[in-house]
Structure 1
Amino acid sequence: MEEQITKEDLRQFRLLLLNDIENLIANKKKEYTAQITEDTEWLRSKSIRQILNISPATLQNLRISGKIEFRKVLGSYYYKKEDLLKLFNK
């Protein structure tokens, strides 16, 4: 005998799925924060891109928009760990 799926079944499934997605996002945010909170005060571009899994263009946009503080030393960009934590805690 076949079971029929009701609208209520779909609604409950949707709620469970949304809850799982929210938990995944929250866990990823905790992982990023944990990686950034290491003892290093300033981090290089490559480290930031790997930690946050973002492209160079996204990092450049954050820099240009003034959302994160940076320093350029001999052609390399360095970012303040503190600013990244503030950005992701918002």
Structure 2
Amino acid sequence: MNVELITKEDLKQFKSELILELKQIFKPETAHTKQWLRSAEVRKLLKISAGTLQNLRINGTLPFRKIGSIMYYAYNDILRVMEEGGDR
């Protein structure tokens, strides 16, 4: 009969590996799948106020489409603005 001892260090390593695997399984998607975002989603993504978003619309930095009373922003345009730092 072969006996193996499990140490506290073994358990800590197992715990770390298990947590890492669970995070990978349950992590939110890193790639954004929506092509069009509403104003609230854009504000949350860019961490800006409603007024700042309005200024980005007014000065043409961030193109948008208005359908009814809802404004939509293309995700690719948002990425471009983030890369350029808002400069146009």
The TM-score bracket by the shorter chain reads: 0.5 to 0.7
Deviation at 1:50, TM superposition (A): 1.1
Over the aligned positions, Cα root-mean-square deviation in angstroms equals 1.7
Provide the TM-score with structure 2 as the length reference.
Answer: 0.58
State how many pairs are aligned: 56
Partner SS, residue 73 of structure 2: strand
Structure 2 unaligned runs (5+)? Answer: 1-28
Q: Hey, which of these two has a bigger chunk of helix by percent?
A: 1
Note if 1:88 corresponds to 2:82: yes
Counterpart in the other structure of 1:57: 51
Q: Tell which structure's C-alpha radius of gyration is larger.
A: 2
Cα offsets for 1:52-74 (capped at 9, x unmatched) = 11111100000011111101111
1: CA distance, partners of 2:51 / 2:78 = 16
2: CA distance, partners of 1:64 / 1:52 = 17
Residue among 31, 35, 41 paired with 1:47: 41
Structure 1 unaligned runs (5+)? Answer: 1-33
Identity of aligned residues (%): 41
Provide the TM-score with structure 1 as the length reference.
Answer: 0.57
Deviation at 1:39, TM superposition (A): 1.1
2: CA distance, partners of 1:48 / 1:63 = 12
1: CA distance, partners of 2:81 / 2:44 = 16
Cα offsets for 1:18-71 (capped at 9, x unmatched) = xxxxxxxxxxxxxxxx96x51111100000111111111100000011111101
Deviant stretches of 4+, over 4 Å: none
Partner SS, residue 51 of structure 2: helix
Note if 1:72 corresponds to 2:73: no
Structure number with the bigger relative contact order (C-alpha 8 A, sep ≥ 6) is 1
